[in-house]
């Protein structure tokens, strides 16, 4: 293979059998179960890096079921998002995610910088209850429940929340172990078709684990919960802050 062939074809590893196809990536019937809760502000300060800031000690714990996505297939993920501002722009800082499929782990980390690790999240309906759970190996790390489709949600408010950007801390190490890429990435969900959205009573439990650290932001008070289904396109990102630039260091 010629040098120019490498330059032309390289976008993911391994070179001759990429872990995922090129985007864009469209998700059909993508299902979100999000519980918003109040946490310890001191704990939040330890995990939200500058220059992002948070106004209140609020966390959104998400379960996301993706039965049909281009390139990535069928999988489930879960994780925590912190409402923040960056340069006056409101959005959500994606703190950590856990999912059950290699292709979106590789694609999410390599392309955008999603903080993804392999685990066993589940989202399902059990009789009258929407149930989300996260196991890391055999250990239960998160358990969430919500009354199934109790009250229709405010569609405009849900669409407005889906239109906000999200922020990721993308880290790629050099061969000597130092950071070669360390930057904040901003992305949007695009071409959103909201199919249904609901609110209702909810509960959330987070449990300590050495490697699955969702419990580092403890649940002090559950504030709200929303359950929705939508078709979306996951937009590619832009770099909004580079930690390694001399003028910013």
Distances (CA, A) of 54 to 19, 60, 214: 35, 13, 18
The catalytically annotated residue of 116, 117, 195, 229 is 116
Concerning whether 22 is annotated as a catalytic residue, the answer is no
- Which tokens sit at 205? 């439990």
Beta bridge partners of 99: 77, 118
Q: Report the DSSP pairing between strands 189-199 and 221-234.
A: antiparallel
Distances (CA, A) of 136 to 28, 140, 145, 245: 27, 7, 19, 36
CA-based R_g, the chain, Å: 18
Tell me the helix, strand and coil percentages in the chain, rounded to 5: 15, 55, 35
Rounded Cα distance between 191 and 1, Å, is 39
Q: Which residues are catalytic?
A: 116
């Amino acid at each position: 293979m010629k040098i120019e062939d490498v330059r032309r074809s390289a976008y993911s590893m391994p070179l001759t059998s990429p872990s995922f196809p090129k985007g864009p990536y469209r998700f059909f019937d993508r299902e979100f179960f999000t519980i918003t809760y109040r946490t310890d502000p001191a704990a939040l300060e330890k995990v939200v890096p500058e220059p992002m800031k948070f106004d209140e000690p609020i966390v959104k714990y998400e379960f996301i079921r993706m039965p049909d996505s281009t390139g990535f297939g069928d999988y489930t993920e879960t994780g925590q998002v912190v409402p923040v501002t960056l340069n006056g722009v409101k959005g959500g800082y994606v703190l950590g995610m856990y999912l059950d499929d290699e292709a979106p782990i590789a694609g999410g980390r390599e392309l955008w910088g999603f903080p993804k690790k392999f685990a066993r999240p589940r989202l399902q309906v059990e009789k009258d209850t929407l149930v989300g759970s996260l196991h890391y190996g055999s250990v239960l790390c998160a358990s969430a429940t919500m009354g199934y489709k109790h009250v229709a949600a405010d569609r405009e408010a849900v669409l407005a929340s889906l239109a906000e950007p999200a922020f990721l801390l993308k880290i790629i190490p050099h061969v000597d172990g130092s950071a070669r890429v360390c930057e904040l990435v901003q992305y949007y969900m695009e071409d959103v078709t909201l199919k249904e959205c609901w609110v209702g009573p909810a509960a959330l439990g987070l449990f300590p684990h050495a490697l699955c650290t969702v419990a580092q932001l403890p649940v002090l008070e559950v504030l709200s919960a929303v359950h929705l289904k939508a078709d979306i396109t996951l937009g590619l990102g832009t770099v909004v802050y580079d930690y390694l630039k001399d003028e910013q260091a």
